[in-house]
Amino acid sequence: MEVAVSMDPLFLAWSSSRRRKFQRCSDICSKLLSESPYDQAAWSLKTRALTEMLYIDEVELDQEGIADIMLDESSIAQVARPGTSLRLPGTSQGGAPTPAVRPMTQSGRPITGFVRPSTLSGRPETMEQAIRTPRTASTARPVTSASGRFVRLGTASMLTNPDGPFINLSRLNLAKYAKRPNLSKTLFEYIFHLENDVKTALDLAALATEHAQFKDWWWKVQLGKCYYRLGLHREAEKQFRSALAHQEFVDTYLYLAKVYQRLDQPITALNVFKQGLDHFPAEVTLLTGIARIHEEMNNMISATEYYKEVLKQDNTHVEAIACIGSNHFYTDQPEIALRFYRRLLQMGVFNCQLYNNLGLCCFYAQQYDMTLSSFERALALVSSDEEQADIWYNLGHVAVGIADLTLAYQCFKLALAFNNNHGEAYNNLAVLELRKGRIEQVGDLQSSYMAAQKSEDAFPEHVDTQQILKNLRQHFATL
């Protein structure tokens, strides 16, 4: 006679959580709680599973909105000394290429080889400038407030339970939970990450810190995170400093450096990173943080050195490879840049931007057999009109390089057809019009950079892109 042995539901839920099947874990815990509402283990496990579904790494999330910038009451020096401010990086340092060679963002920072939130930030002087400045990676629409993102994420907690939220925060006795370390930490992460109730999370962290007699470094870090989210940067600095006095931890150094970057104190942030390296030698995240600050301050030589140190520890670090490759390209070393971009391709990075960079590197390295095929791959992988405009703009430069100005004219027209605000395409198109002696068109193109094109024939309605690529292919066959 065979006896069927069923697995313990709580162990099954725990196993599902370990395998990152959080929805299944939550469903099993919900069934257990319906049978036994006071099961603390099932309650804690379900809280943890719901949090992991929407968990966001606070270290990497750093983007200021217009409201956060213009309504900030912290006093910042209007004229900072050279090399001491991220908002006014000034001219190139340490032999880096000038802005005429390497493109700059509207906030004055050099365009990096890797898109990250910190490179998109800047502090405009007026509201009009803030609205006009592109704030996101894929669109020019300004981010009104960074806190809006957290609010929208927090509403996702309602989707996990059709009857409402799992925990009713208004009825919680925070003082009771603060005395239970096995439940309070899970509850805090649920409130902070999923419900996005920063004030309630701050109250719970303050009570738990007091119950721990101000000796628990973990709660001090959470207090610092709450203060940072609320814009109280000096209070966050005190909490992170106090947490480091109790326990050395990599994330704490990253949070503290993030505070100093928001306060526009890059030198102090560099010192914090170097203090962290004293306790955690060759830590990749700390080395990457130092390299990012040097790059944002336009000190490319130091940034490249630290990115190379990152690759010595982690030779698959995509950001370091991309940034080093970008720096070599803008310092007239396309052959070396090509090696780094091919490394990214071997690692499985497969997107439009990579093939676009490969096409440019192949062209300037005189490897014409791979140039056009790379751009064709890039055109096949585009996901937005802005990306397509950039590729046709680069193809226009390729056409100029092979002395076919007619094809270049068509490519720049296509770039404007996909992106009416492409300033570089307007500029190059005006140069081509000037070479043809069409002075009146130059004035129209100049005004079109600030407004819509006046003439109706500015944008091609019926352009055979395949014919343009075919003509380019025939040119490359003769090289």
SS (H, E, C) 330-361: HCCCHHHHHHHHHHHHHCCCCCHHHHHHHHHH
Q: Which amino acid is at 58?
A: E
- Decide: 260 and 228 in contact? Cβ < 8 Å: no
> How does DSSP classify residue 231?
T
Contacts of 303-307 spanning 24+ positions with Cβ under 8 A: 303/327
- Residue 63's pLDDT band, with cuts at 50, 70 and 90, is low
Return the amino acid letter for 285: T
Distance CA 256, CA 14 (A): 34
pLDDT, tens digit, for every residue of 67-125? 555 555 555 555 666 667 776 655 555 555 655 556 655 444 556 666 665 554 444 55
Q: In this predicted structure, which of 89-103, 215-229, 319-333, 397-411 has the lowest mean pLDDT?
A: 89-103
Whether pLDDT at 459 is above 80:
no
- For the record, the structure tokens of 153 come out as 């994420």
- Please give the single-letter amino acid code of residue 391: I
Q: What is the pLDDT of residues 247-301, one digit of tens each?
A: 999 999 999 999 999 888 899 999 999 999 999 999 999 999 999 999 888 888 9
Distance, CA of 162 to CA of 27 (rounded, Å)? 13
Distance CA 206, CA 210 (A): 6
Q: Which two tokens stand for residue 451?
A: 């407004």
How far apart are alpha carbons 263 and 38 in whole angstroms?
46
**Cα–Cα nearest to 405, from 414, 415, 396:** 396
**What pLDDT digit, counting tens, does each position of 340-396 carry?**
999 999 998 888 989 999 999 999 998 888 888 899 999 999 988 888 888 999 999
Q: What's the rounded Cα separation, in Å, for the pair 303 and 309?
A: 10
pLDDT band for 405, please (50, 70, 90 cuts): confident
Q: What is the pLDDT of residue 280?
A: 94
Nearest to 337 by CA among 349, 353, 321: 321
Alpha-carbon span 448 to 52, nearest angstrom: 49
Residues found in the chain: 479
Q: How many CB atoms lie within 10 A of CB 210?
A: 12
Average pLDDT, the chain: 78
Write the DSSP symbol of residue 96. P
pLDDT at residue 325, rounded to an integer? 92
Task: Write down the pTM of the prediction.
Answer: 0.78
pLDDT digits (tens, 9 = 90+) for 121-158: 444 555 555 444 444 444 444 455 455 445 444 444 44
Higher pLDDT, 237 or 476: 237
> In one letter, which amino acid is 445?
L
Tell me: pLDDT of 416 over 90.
no
d(CA 262, CA 228): 10
Q: Please name which of 405, 413, 424 lies closest in space to residue 453, comparing C-alpha atoms.
A: 413
pLDDT given at position 134: 45
Collapsing DSSP to helix, strand or coil, 279 comes out as helix
- Alpha-carbon span 335 to 345, nearest angstrom: 15
Report percent pLDDT > 90 for the chain: 35
* Percentage, residues of the chain above pLDDT 70: 69
Q: Transcribe 141-185 into DSSP letters.
A: PPP--HHHHHHHHHTTHHHH-TTS-SS-GGG--HHHHHT-HHHHH
Closest by CA position to 306, among listed 295, 316, 322, 318: 295
